[in-house]
Amino acid sequence: MKATSFRFVPWRGSRGLLAGVACGVVGVLAIAGCGTDGGEKPSAAGVSAYAAAAGSVPYGPMTGATGPAGDGAPPIAAAPLAGVPQSMGSRPVFALADHPLFAQHSGVGRGECKLPAWHDDAESARALYQRAIGCLDDSWGSTLRSVGLPFHTPRLAAPAKAVAADTACAGELRRAPAALYCAADETIVMPFDALRSRTAGSSRGAQLAMLTREYGHHVQALIGIMRAYTDKRTAVGWDSAAGQEQSRRMDLQAWCFAGMFLGTNYGRGDLDQQTWDEASRRSGVAGDSPGDPRLHGIDRSVLNWFTWGSEKGDTWECNTWYSAAATVE
């Protein structure tokens, strides 16, 4: 069984209806808000990068690798985005395809990410995760604050054994040890014993692939996407085929966000070619195992979205909610 990414238990509250999508007060352990998924979709000009001819190619990752974006990625948006509430300070926006973060081309911050040397033990892993989260905070924090969305750092739980994790999702970890994002206490959980078989031999890259994906879920939780996803998946049937498709869109977006960070900061500090290659290889085997529920996407889809995020470095391009179903298999 592959590692599960994020854990939550929905609860029901007052419910309204916006643009034909149920949204209301549904908690994701600690997430609150109301979502809408019925706004204007990206313009035809905005999706031209995906189309070889008008209407002939579905919105989503294209084949043909160009390499990590590096300094070719878009800059951070310079002003608050349309649709982001400004009157009461930074607040999340509970939306999916029409979330303001996907309304324009915006990159993540660039920086010299210096990481400790990798040694194959729990203490070294914890030190790597802590330093990498600092780099991710600098990168994503500048992006979200600049456009008027909320930001704060996640907690980290990186125990030697999953059963020792200090998190509200400890019960889930005892049932199925894995890397995950626990929304109840905004904790990225990276248990060394659960990850060891998946990251063996890594000099850093495979570890960073797993960490940056979980950090992607933290971004989704902060800005309102995770709450809107929970509402929509609940509305279509949590375990239905449509509900599982929503789960794949959620997880594949986190992989696209992971690629954005690693691709934009490629060549800076310790994020070198070897590290990116290792992360890419890890993403290529991170999909659902045969026979498991289809919650994360097949290996090809995971690799496609990770690579797409790395090549484009653009939040616009990570809109899995608007992408054709064929791109989120």
Lowest mean pLDDT among 42-46, 253-257, 321-325: 42-46
The one-character DSSP state at 303 is H
Condensed to tens digits (0 to 9), the pLDDT of residues 155-203 reads 999 999 888 888 899 888 888 788 999 999 999 999 998 887 766 666 7
Condensed to tens digits (0 to 9), the pLDDT of residues 5-21 reads 444 333 222 222 222 22
* Domain presence at residue 168: yes
Residues forming a β-bridge with 187: 155, 182
* Structural domain of 25: 6-328
Q: Would you mind telling me the total number of residues written for the chain in this entry?
A: 329
* Domain presence at residue 70: yes
* Domain presence at residue 324: yes
The token pair at 261 is: 């960070």
Q: Which residues contact 87 (CB under 8 A, 6 or more apart)?
A: none
* Domain presence at residue 13: yes
Counting the structural domains of the chain, the total is 1
Phi-psi category of 67—alpha, beta or left, where left has phi over 0 and alpha has psi -120 to 50?
A: left
- Cβ atoms 305, 320 nearer than 8 A: yes
pLDDT at residue 237 is higher than 80: yes
Query: What element of type H or E holds 207?
Result: helix 205-223
- Is the pLDDT higher at 61 or at 324? 324
* Domain presence at residue 1: no
Q: Distance between CA atoms of 238 and 257, rounded to whole angstroms?
A: 24
Q: SS3 sequence, 215-263?
A: HHHHHHHHHCHHHHHHHHHHHHCCCCHHHHHHHHHHHHHHHHHHHHHHH
- Cβ atoms 302, 284 nearer than 8 A: yes
- Cβ atoms 157, 164 nearer than 8 A: no
- Cβ atoms 5, 217 nearer than 8 A: yes
Give the strand order in the sheet containing 155-157: 6-7, 180-182, 187-189, 155-157
Q: Distance between CA atoms of 221 and 233, rounded to whole angstroms?
A: 15
